[in-house]
Amino acid sequence: MITSLAESPEYQLHVKQMELNSLLEVTQAINNNLPEEALYKIYHFILRGNLHINKLLLCIYQDRWEKKAVFGTTSSFDHVHEDLISLDLKEVTSTENEQVPVIFQEFDEIIPVYHRDALLAYVFLSQNQIAYREGIATDTKFIQTLTNLIVVAIENKKLAAKQMEQEALNRELQIAKRVQERLFPKKLPDNPYITVKADYFPHQSVSGDYYDFIALPDEKYFVCIADVSGKGIPAALLMSNFQASLRILIRQTTDLLRIVSELNHTLYEILGGERFITGFFALYDHRAHTLTYINAGHHPPLLINESGDNRWLKTGTTVIGIFDSLPFINYEVVENVSHFLLFGYTDGVVEACNNTEEEYGDERMEEVIKEFSQEKPSYLHQKLIESIHDFCGNTPFRDDVTLLTLKVSSPDK
């Protein structure tokens, strides 16, 4: 004998049909790739119109707790993160539970929604009291299933969107990397009289490190190594601008004072002093056996001369790009350099750390350079890179790493 509406086969069939229709509607909406807001509206309509729900609050966790659907409540629940951050429920729970903040006690129960052991959402609800007394209230397991379907679909949509964004960014980075690689000299000299070797290890796909070598008329050679503050695409963009400006200037003049001053002014106009570049700029005159240089706040390169006059090249100015006009600028001419090695580098070399946060440092680097200064620059770089890796172990580099060596022997030697 049937004693209530809930026990009648017709009503049970009606409930199953309603649940099936609800799931079908949601599934079709997901398959049609409807936007997130549209899915929440469908969810809202189903629960309010078909499932005897008087009050509902759906909160989703996406880096922080946020309200996504609400109806029938006295509070707006616009700021729920602080109230939910400490709540940890594994199953359907009454709001009378002492864990539940007072603000949620206008509801009757809380349904946690999990996916692969990860808490995705909480559903706070109160069912129609008449329906509840007559035994025709909606099964919370179905609400949990419906919510899970909606929330997981939205989560998957966001993950797919992020993946597409990442793939697009990766493509852009690859293009930027190829463009940046073209900024470096395509071919460096390697003969008995002059050899230039450069090695470049960006911390990311692109970097703010730069080096250049330009053969000029009358057996003069320009060499440069530079480092932009910061990393990644912003640093790479600034470096490309720097390279273009430098190449234009070197066609017009070999006056290092003018080149560095003009570069500083150009960078200041672009950035307003918000970022800077360190750089070392040198001009070698093969006929006069002179090396003229300006160090603009860069780690000093090491000059190892056959005469034994070894030195760190420090003379110059401050970093470029901070001041509209450089507060001071000097240059030095090193004479009687016909057989020498000039080693330049960026700060990623000496600031490389081991697992105890100890830096590789200038002293270790200097020892390796002096030990292998008579070898080919390629071998010198190989031994230095090996030394850095041996020191750092599995600790990755913190910054971009660039090595540049100029080795010169005069024909009359």
Is a pLDDT exceeding 90 seen at residue 322?
yes
CA 72 vs CA 56, 96, 114, 336: distances in Å: 7, 19, 25, 89
Among 250-259, 295-304, 345-354, which is the least confidently predicted range? Answer: 345-354
Cα distances (angstroms) measured from residue 390 to each of 71, 197, 379: 63, 22, 16
- Mean pLDDT, the chain, rounded, equals 85
User: What's residue 391's pLDDT?
Assistant: 92
SS3 319: coil
Mean pLDDT across 2-22: 61
65-71/194-201 β-pairing? unpaired
pLDDT computed for residue 25 by the predictor = 77
**pLDDT band at residue 205, thresholds of 50, 70 and 90?**
low
Give buried/exposed letters for 241-270 (b at 16+ CB in 10 A, else e).
bbbebbeebbeeebebbebbbbbbbbbbee
pLDDT value at residue 167: 81
In the structure, what pLDDT confidence band is assigned to residue 21 with cuts at 50, 70 and 90?
confident
Which pLDDT score is estimated for 2?
46
> Token pair of 185, please?
């000299």
pLDDT above 70: percentage of residues in the chain = 89
Q: What is the pLDDT of residue 7?
A: 55
Percent over 90 (pLDDT), the chain: 40
Q: Look up the pTM and report it.
A: 0.65
- Judging by beta carbons within 10 Å of its beta carbon (0-12, 13-18, 19+), is residue 293 exposed, middle or buried? buried
* Cβ within 8 Å of residue 342, ≥6 positions away: 223, 282, 291, 301, 302, 303, 304, 313, 405, 406, 407, 408
Bridge-based pairing state of the strands 290-296 and 209-216: unpaired
pLDDT at position 244 over 80: yes
Per-residue model confidence (pLDDT) at position 54: 84
Helix axes 256-271, 232-252, angle to 10 degrees: 140
Residue range 4-13: mean pLDDT, rounded: 57
**pLDDT reading at 1 higher than 50:** no
